[in-house]
Amino acid sequence: MSRSRSTGGDYTCQLYFDPRADESGTGGYWITDEELRQKLANLIDANEKIQKASVYSNPLHSWQLTNAKSYHEFLIMKTNNWWWSIEKNSECITIQRSKKLESVRDMYQRKKRTTGFGPLTKIRKNETTKDGNITINELINYFWRTDILNKDYHVVNANCKDFAAMVFNRIKSFECRVYFDEAADQHDNDNIADSTSGFHMTVDKALDEVRRCGGSEPFTKNLECYTLRLPFRQYFYSQLCATEGTYWSLEGTLFIHRAKNKDVLLNECQRHPRCTSLKDSKMVVSFLWNDMNKVMEYFCKNQKNKNGIFLNVVDINVISSLYNKSKRKSRRETVDV
């Protein structure tokens, strides 16, 4: 649904994706925020790693003599098999993919980009990353998680240059804030490959890893929440969810564990013994989510820190409120009986 802006444009809150911009007879897809992760996942290779990214610019008007003040900015990205462009204007966000650089650098939605008079108004490369650190799919997760599609376009405060800078900085630098262990109860002496050991990653990669490891399997037991008081009056929080034969834990601000042995999750963290077991601090609440994917999506989409840190992986106030509400309901039902 279009939303009129004082800038004179109608921003659609949608993404336009052209997967084969170098082929005639093919077209693009219009994608909403709700469709973003699922629909794009079916159209791209989730493992396409960004090797480098460059910021480009071109003039807004054909009569310009220079790019100095009035210009449009967009990104060109190189992966193993494709060239990509990504940009934002007053209509939408556009992603194009092609085997040929020219099809995304020199074209926008199958039309030639604007150039002006003389060499100073050609399409120009401004800066380039030394290397890439994330995949295209992780970048899409970041867009979804930070609600990029629903953020308005504004010619001064949220324009193409701001968008290009945001995406460029995300590709250029990131912090591995999340620790993920897909087999926390399997150690080296179990002849398990090193790849199953826990390691740190971005929150956007963690979304994909959880999904890969069976995050869509439905929970079979109620959510268990654990609290542990640490020195200096700090508190440690952990939640434990169970699917058929598998347990998941999210805790603190950084750690996600998966195991078939529940006791390992209660007694170990990052494959090291805890100073105190969590067993004595158990609190059971009703389901908030149906599966681990939904848990991850809830915290990723609702957390407020734009760097992607799980500041409140378990919000103890929310959990306590749900638990107390559940107890009050249980007491009322007992009285009614």
Ordered strands of the 71-78 beta sheet: 29-31, 15-18, 93-98, 83-88, 71-78, 52-59, 124-128
- Specify the pLDDT at position 192: 44
Distance CA 191, CA 173 (A): 35
Higher pLDDT, 25 or 113: 113
Work out the percent of the chain whose per-residue pLDDT is above 90: 37
Of 226-230, 246-250, 264-268, 278-282, minimum mean pLDDT range:
226-230
Average confidence (pLDDT) over 313-318 = 49
Q: Which residues of 177-194 are buried (b: 16+ CB within 10 A; e: fewer)?
A: bbbbbbbbbbeeeeeeee
Residues 316 and 237: beta-carbon distance below 8 Å? yes
Residue 336 has pLDDT above 60, yes or no: no
Instruction: Please write the tens of the pLDDT for every residue from 196-228.
Output: 578 888 888 899 999 999 999 999 887 788 877
Q: How confident is the model at residue 270 (pLDDT cuts 50, 70, 90)?
A: confident
In sign, the C-alpha dihedral spanning 233, 176, 162, 67 is positive
Higher pLDDT, 261 or 324: 261
Spacing of C-alpha 230 from chain mean position = 31
Which residues have a Cβ under 8 Å from the Cβ of 32 and sit 6 or more positions away?
A: 13, 14, 15, 149
Of 54-63, 70-79, 103-112, minimum mean pLDDT range:
54-63
Average confidence (pLDDT) over 230-243 = 70
Distance CA 85, CA 171 (A): 13
Q: How confident is the model at residue 287 (pLDDT cuts 50, 70, 90)?
A: low
Distance CA 77, CA 97 (A): 9
- Specify the pLDDT at position 6: 45
Distance CA 289, CA 296 (A): 10
Average confidence (pLDDT) over 182-209 = 74
49 DSSP 8-state letter:
B
Question: Maximum Cα–Cα distance for the chain, whole Å?
Answer: 86
Residue 193 has pLDDT above 50, yes or no: no
Place of tokens 């109620």: 222
Q: How confident is the model at residue 297 (pLDDT cuts 50, 70, 90)?
A: confident
Residue 306 has pLDDT above 50, yes or no: no
Residue 147 has pLDDT above 60, yes or no: yes
Of 37-41, 248-252, 330-334, minimum mean pLDDT range:
330-334
End-to-end Cα, the chain, rounded Å: 50
Average confidence (pLDDT) over 43-66 = 86
